[in-house]
Structure 1
């Protein structure tokens, strides 16, 4: 897979994971809850995952129970954005 294809794949996985946990990444960026640099870094962290196929299977199936899985390298960021989107700082 080319580097560009890898980044696109992981950007999609990150977006799908965010959707599953109730985070709209576009709205989070517009509101200033996350910067574009932070989103870029999140995609790069995702691309470093040793088993993206597990994530893809989980997202295609029953999901992860509304929370990122323990192995997710963006778990903390997604949790923070979820709390912000629910007004729970």
Structure 2
């Protein structure tokens, strides 16, 4: 089980990565494209990443948006959500 500090850090990383992809997680959930359980799964997946510090540096360097880095465990999910949000 993850501690609350770790979960909060990775929840923030997931939210920031989604924003960098042009995905508004709240709007996506309200539109029915993402369930709370799927968001929880994305956060838990993020906690297994070996590069959270690199992710924070990447996010700081890509505030205007960019495709998720290859090592992002949620890259496919966020790309899918970005496509759904556009449509």
**Interval of TM-score (by shorter of Structure 1 and Structure 2):** over 0.9
Aligned pair 1:12/2:15, yes or no?
A: no
1:66 aligned residue = 66
1:75 aligned residue = 75
Q: TM-score, normalised by structure 2?
A: 0.92
Alignment of 1:1-89 (within 5 A): 3-62=3-62, 66-87=66-87
C-alpha deviation, 1:63, in angstroms: 5.3
C-alpha deviation, 1:60, in angstroms: 1.2
Q: Name the Cα RMSD after superposition.
A: 1.6
Q: Is the contact made by 2:20 and 2:62 (CA closer than 8 Å) also made in structure 1?
A: no
- Unaligned 5+ segments in structure 1 are none
- Whole-angstrom CA distance in 1 between matches of 2:11 and 2:49: 12
Q: TM-score, normalised by structure 1?
A: 0.90
C-alpha deviation, 1:65, in angstroms: 5.5
- Unaligned 5+ segments in structure 2 are none
Instruction: Identify which of structures 1 and 2 has the higher relative contact order when contacts are C-alpha pairs closer than 8 Å and 6+ apart.
Output: 2
